[in-house]
Amino acid sequence: MNILSTLRALDPQPVRPQKEAKPQQTKGIEIKSKREVDLMRESARIVATVLKEVAAMMQPGMTTKDIDTYAEKRIREMGAVPSFKGYCNFPASICASINQEVVHGIPSAKKVIKNGDLVKIDTGAYKNGFHGDSCITIAVGSVSEKAALLMRVAEEALYRGIAQVKPGNCLLDLAGAIEDHVKAHGFSVVEDFTGHGVGRNLHEEPSVFNFRTHQLPNVRLRPGMVLAIEPILNAGSKRVRFLADKWTAVTVDNQLSAQFEHTVLVTETGYEILTDRNLV
């Protein structure tokens, strides 16, 4: 069976290849007005705040359910609604994926966070009609050298991609920069999920892929586009499989996975990271 038919559409998005690339596709891609961008800044700020707080509070012995409960409380306190909860029937406000879990880990009171874990926390907030979306990887206590390197390269890869965001550049410029950086360190880019446009919907056009491909539209960037850029790196094979819960994707070889994501606005001259945690 084709793996694509088994993927659930949470965040990041499953890849849906097209038969033919459309290099200049703009149809279906929203250009946000200044007013809409201002509203998105608020949703993105809430997401950044929650992730910053979660990174500071995470300790061995906590469960991923504890983190979910905290994140939902904070999102609601700031006047927003968790973007993920109920999306395609996902039961929680965050995805919490530990070590070899790649994406879409379901928070659970049985999942205890341990010293040495790499924990990916992905969350979204919806307020005033717009979503913000971001993901971080947190090193709990002291992690292995390899885990620390994977995490560092994952964050660097995100910023390499973001550095390519400017009017006139295309999605392949982002993807190439990400892929090259990851491969230079001997890691792999997961190809089963992509980033996406974000705005009134959690997932909008285009698919923001993190690897060179001609199976997805190579969109030219224009001011006012807002993209969720979210490379996923595996220490070993790029391939993933799904657990019996039908949500959690894990690496096929049980090796580690790391991910970072930002919601990024294309400006007249380059980019603005709307989920920047340094600004909250």
Q: Which helix (H) or strand (E) holds 197?
A: strand 193-197
List of residues 6+ apart from 176 with CB closer than 8 A: 212
Rounded least distance, CB 276 to Mg ion, Å: 15
The answer to whether residue 204 forms part of the interface with Mg ion (CB under 5 A) is no
Rounded least distance, CB 115 to Mg ion, Å: 26
Query: Cβ closer to Mg ion: 37 or 95?
Result: 95
Verify cis geometry, omega within 30 degrees of 0, for the bond prior to 12: yes
Q: Give the amino acid at 40.
A: M
**What's the residue count for the chain?**
280
By CB under 5 A, name the one of 11, 66, 101, 117 that touches Mg ion: 11
Instruction: Kindly indicate which of the ranges 97-105, 138-146, 173-181, 260-268 contains the residues binding Mg ion, using the contact rule CB under 5 A.
Output: 260-268
Query: Cβ closer to Mg ion: 99 or 123?
Result: 123
Query: Cβ closer to Mg ion: 29 or 135?
Result: 135
Phi, psi (degrees; rounded to nearest 5) at 69: -60, -45
Distance CA 154, CA 151 (A): 5
Read off the tokens for 65: 């359910």
Phi-psi region at 116: left, alpha or beta (left = phi > 0; alpha = psi -120 to 50): left
The answer to whether residue 135 forms part of the interface with Mg ion (CB under 5 A) is yes
Instruction: Kindly indicate which of the ranges 10-18, 69-77, 144-152, 183-191 contains the residues binding Mg ion, using the contact rule CB under 5 A.
Output: 10-18
By CB under 5 A, name the one of 68, 72, 133, 179 that touches Mg ion: 133
Rounded least distance, CB 12 to Mg ion, Å: 5
Rounded least distance, CB 274 to Mg ion, Å: 13
> String of b and e for 23-37 (b: at least 16 CB within 10 Å)?
eebeeebbebeeebb
Spatial CA neighbour of 137 closest among 163, 110, 99, 105 = 99
Cα 203 versus chain centre, distance:
11
Query: Cβ closer to Mg ion: 236 or 272?
Result: 272
Name the residue with the smallest CB distance to Mg ion: 228
Query: Cβ closer to Mg ion: 59 or 231?
Result: 231
Count of residues interacting with Mg ion (CB under 5 A): 6
Cα 125 versus chain centre, distance:
13
Distance CA 160, CA 137 (A): 17
Query: Cβ closer to Mg ion: 197 or 217?
Result: 197
- Residue 78-117 contact track with Mg ion, rule CB under 5 A, x = bound: ----------------------------------------
Query: Cβ closer to Mg ion: 133 or 204?
Result: 133
Cα 182–Cα 186–Cα 192 angle in degrees, nearest 5: 55
The answer to whether residue 228 forms part of the interface with Mg ion (CB under 5 A) is yes
Rounded least distance, CB 137 to Mg ion, Å: 12
Q: Which residues bind Mg ion (CB under 5 A)?
A: 11, 122, 133, 135, 228, 261
